[in-house]
A and B are shown apart, each in its own frame.
Chain A
């Protein structure tokens, strides 16, 4: 059933999406509400083209959707009905998939996922996906009142007889809200399917944020209609008898606040004051009717907005609405009382925003509110910035300086306290014509920020709020077109650069060059050249290639072996292979980008390879090069051929790994247990260096300076105890964030006054700490040296990470959160040890247990003392603090590991020198 009114341009698209359905047996009813444009012609054409199309035309326009829908339902011959608006589309299997579902479940209607399709970008975004995650049958709305959020009439397949019992109201707008409430009351059972059934076409976002005056006026009538619909819906629910203790009505009212009210609050910053005042007066009576419990569970900022409506404060409402979206700016002023934080200048419990934790953030994450007025003349733009510091960050950092940053261009600001008012005022003038973003210009966009630098050199920055109705202005500066504009509904300043003239061709040239480059230097070419190189070039015995954690940086066993070599002034040139950004390296180490030509060359030339995972898999070791495999951990997890990635169906990875292991000349073995488990499961048969782990030496000796540095770097207060939380990854959910299984929010609630958590996720994992937890959790997934974190911490929380064996060297308490132990040991990964039986600390399965354990850490530690000793005996017996020295002694020949001795001492020829008699593969190098 396609309802339409004056939509000739898009009607055909909608109807075709039905005719193309995988369910062939459909009837399309076009219910036209007396269109006056070419809609009728389009509809008649569609009817001629396909006999399944019927056209119903109303004589007089009804002004709503209720009349055409009811008319269509009355005319429908099919036992099942779906609605479609003429500007949207159905996905191809929408009808058949929901038809099969309604037949299977016997439900009264089936509802599926809506997806918004942004026409400007072509991108889609699912609407409230959480409601549709599980495919299920729901026995009445009372079981899942959250489903009130799904109050469209369009993403559903109905039994026709049900629709005839629940007609649409014809005398109002938002009749679908009333209809949905009545529908939910009438349906004994409905089914939910997780796939997308409806494409909601959205025109470009800009037209939404900049509404014309006339539209705004009609919008006020809309607000009234919505409120009327809400009241009617509440009445229907009350009369239905489903609403036991008022709970269901409250749920629906919460939906009103989250969904309907939000529709007007989002674009509120772009309205003029008169509109906002009227809006407040129109919406106030309805909100005042609601029970205060309705507001309790809604998002704090939305609750703040509601409180200003209730208090009749349009000016304050505007300030709060500007924080709802975009940068989610902090308030202009806040009050802290008894550990609680309130929006504004008085501690009103309706405006409590403690749970956002904005007031307790570390300096670099702290929040300031910058409101700017932008004016422009030619290429020169002028900003008048008002900076609000609601949480006293500036006062706590005397000596701070402020800058305005336009990407790599920085201007000093001179903020001064405003007279008689809160906050600081500053001005800046930027000449865009004088900015150079790169030698070949710049194409892209960025959001200018105000940076506040404290005397320690730390930086905190926030974007600039601007009036969303600020006209965007564009200009042409040296080969570029620049647009400065207000972005989004809670608008912030954004600058867009576009190359002009000759520079415009640059991206295309670059793409062509990349394509060409890929053809001449793709992985296969590199491997072939490499094999040629190693067949003719002898390795240099004074050159060593180091790599740690597949290029993660300067850390792990290779780092400590390198440092030992440096201590001895060994005559070795060291090149470090780095993937990505890599972090800091000592000055005498040359970095090389992993898999670049220089890296390939170094691999071919280096007399020594030292790493902790594996050099690129397919690359054979040059004859004569010696490869020290230091490995990166030991523990309970299955490894090598027992690990899931190598025990899968395909033999390729196993063969590749077998060949890779064959390359190792020596393996650092930290313990007897490692030899029992790791060596056979990787099929290694070479030499073992049993001296402990070089990376654990520092854990044996301790390093106060490193701990202090890490505490400072991570901005952990001096009084706070530190819990290092280092979960390992899950093999079947890499990059999903699922390895972080502790409930950080409830930990923060219980422990934030005493503890700070350093979250060290595995490198293959991706996880972002939400802002409301940043006061308690420091994400250190990319902190360059994990040993510093170990040394800083007071306790370790892990699951199955090999870090536990290193950590045991420190003797500090360990806790294990292993709620998925059975899954992990049997299916997910596989293990060699029964962790609950050998763990040197409590094995926990819930966050509550974890919190309890942390509160009584001392008592627990004592009770696990003997287990701890046994654990260390298994894995750390060889950690004596001199592993680096011994490994260097036993792997590197003295000539390469010691400073050159005074002349007169004869040395043997280096072991790596080979005869050059073999025929070169690629012709003689020039």
Chain B
């Protein structure tokens, strides 16, 4: 076991629903399995049943529990009482240790139902920017300060929460990568990857615009000033394709947007790809582009990096900045600056050497996100809590 230590104390992970397909859930099961393999007693609690359950770990060495038979939704008074009883019964059996509460909803729901021998740790899986735009900031400010620790995705986010939510107990641990590949990408394929659900928040429309511009096909409204530059890009961008991997409600709008940008022939809508085959996708790409409105710690960037694929992204959160060191392991451009994204894309599309330089550095950089390393950080956190 590389760098692993065994600690004492049980760990309970609690999510709203633990078995739906989603980032929070995947991280939770990865951590649960990792800590159980290190000899801890681990439980994963889903407060609600998943509508489409997904199996994250083939042979779990932890115990799973589901409290309600209903999917996530409002609880009746009776449901609340049932929840209190069921949790009480369940947690009485768990030895002293830590309860990791995955989101503001979980913290408010069960934060004060925990027995005193389970020390509560609250997690927040979004960026500070995201929390600020929703009810999350108020909830985190109101409820996380009394927990043993409030864990955020990056140093920067933890800092912002300590300043703006006045939390005295912030800490940061990144989410782990699912695996660590041995074989990396060749970076010779003329393919830009966009990975994520086709939803408004991912702003793939901006990526399509930027890709079109990088291929020397600027949108009619924003005619590129410099003819020579357009020509150079057209040449360098020849045969390049943008592969969008994911499914969602925006597909129609995005397709017509691609047509409006005159890159329908270059943008490939690949639909959803199973996690097991994502490795091949990363190995078949040369650049990963991320154009989201906001992101917490976008693991697609980390995964791509683990395959040696550099990323180009909008600089939207502390989490992103912890994954990509601008100019050294990828390129960050100002949020929503499509022109700058296009320039960055064009730069990488034009130079395989630059892709290799950034890609190799990116892979080295994201070693810190390997499951073992992240597990070590959790162990350090547990030590910190009981200090």
Contacts and interface: CB of A to CB of B under 8 A. Distances in A.
Interface in A131-190: 133-135
B162 A194 contact: yes
A93 B169 contact: yes
B238 interface: no
Interface in A790-828: 822, 825-827
Contact of A647 (B169, B200, B335): B200
A201 interface: no
A23 interface: yes
B180 to A, nearest CB: 29
B168 A731 contact: no
B240 interface: no
A94 B168 CA distance: 7
A864 B200 CA distance: 38
Interface in A78-122: 91-94, 96-97, 112-113
A648 B159 CA distance: 24
Contact of A195 (B133, B162, B200): B162
A739 to B, nearest CB: 16
Contacts of A644: 133, 293
Interface residues of B, number: 26
Contacts of B163: 133-135, 194
A23 B133 CA distance: 33
Given A134-B163, A196-B166, A732-B132, A96 B387 contact: yes
Contacts of A133: 163
A651 B249 contact: yes
A197 B168 contact: yes
B167 A195 contact: yes
B146 interface: yes
B309 to A, nearest CB: 26
B76 interface: no
Nearest to B159: A135
Interface string B285-313: 00000000100000000000000000000
A769 to B, nearest CB: 26
Interface string A514-525: 000000000000
A639 interface: no
A22 interface: yes
A649 B335 CA distance: 17
A91 B166 CA distance: 12
A25 interface: yes
A530 to B, nearest CB: 21
Interface string B111-134: 000000000000000000000111
A302 interface: no
B162 A22 contact: no
A687 interface: no
A110 B139 CA distance: 28
Nearest to B197: A649
A197 B167 CA distance: 11
A822 B169 CA distance: 34
B133 A22 contact: no
A135 B133 CA distance: 22
A647 B148 contact: no
Contacts of B353: none
B2 interface: no
Contacts of A22: 148, 169, 385
A129 B334 CA distance: 32
B162 A92 contact: no
Contact of B168 (A97, A641, A822, A830): A97
Contact of B387 (A25, A91, A196, A822): A25
A654 interface: yes
A646 B200 CA distance: 8
Contacts of B169: 22, 93, 96-97
A101 to B, nearest CB: 9
Contact of A648 (B133, B249, B336, B387): B133
A193 interface: yes
Interface string B138-151: 00000001101000
B146 A92 contact: yes
A567 interface: no
A827 B133 CA distance: 11
Given A133-B163, A134-B163, A731 B133 contact: yes
Interface string A1-31: 0000000000000000000001111000000
B133 A826 contact: no
Contacts of A827: 335-336
A647 B293 contact: yes
A822 B315 CA distance: 14
A815 to B, nearest CB: 26
B72 to A, nearest CB: 12
Contacts of A647: 200-201, 203, 293
A23 B204 CA distance: 47
B337 interface: yes
Contacts of B334: 822, 826
B74 to A, nearest CB: 11
Interface of A: 22-25, 91-94, 96-97, 112-113, 133-135, 193-197, 641, 644, 646-649, 651, 654, 731-732, 822, 825-827, 830
29 contacts: A24-B387, A91-B168, A92-B146, A93-B168, A96-B387, A97-B169, A112-B168, A113-B166, A133-B163, A135-B162, A135-B163, A194-B162, A194-B163, A195-B162, A196-B168, A644-B133, A644-B293, A647-B201, A647-B203, A647-B293, A648-B133, A649-B201, A731-B133, A732-B132, A822-B334, A825-B336, A826-B335, A826-B336, A830-B336
Given A135-B159, A644-B133, 5 more contacts: A22-B148, A133-B163, A194-B162, A195-B166, A825-B336
Which 8 interchain pairs have the tightest Cβ spacing? A826-B336, A97-B168, A93-B168, A647-B200, A195-B168, A195-B166, A93-B169, A827-B335
